[in-house]
Amino acid sequence: MQTLRKIALVVFVLYVALLGGLLEVMRQPVVFGKVMSKAPGPLLMVIPFKQLWFIARAGHLKVGDPAPDFNLPTPDKKAQVQLSSFRRQKPVVLIFGSYT
């Protein structure tokens, strides 16, 4: 019985370490893609990926916080537009999504 408990404890510790490692890797999407391309299929059944992803990619903004400043190229790629240049001038709507 003691041996079974030790084995269960080792398996639990390894599982928690795996979850912690995946959580850290999920904070770096490019690295996460490389790691997941090598992951065995059965792993998908024992890891709560959706919950880990929501934790890893949650961010720190709250309602009412100003959006972080960033630059984007214009559609013709000839100039850059900075988000903060619109502050207190007109509303800006940011849409993040995939059209594929």
Segments making up each domain of the chain, as ranges: 2-86
For 29-38, what is the mean pLDDT? 85
* pLDDT band, residue 100 (cuts 50/70/90): low
pTM of the model: 0.58
Tell me the C-alpha distance between 57 and 23, whole Å. Answer: 9
Q: Does residue 96 register a pLDDT over 80?
A: no
State the pLDDT at residue 53. 86
Mean pLDDT over residues 6-21, rounded?
Answer: 94
CB-based contact 92:77 (threshold 8 Å):
no
CA 4 and chain centroid, separation: 36
Structure token digits, residue 61:
């903004």
- The pair of structure tokens assigned to 60 is 């720190």
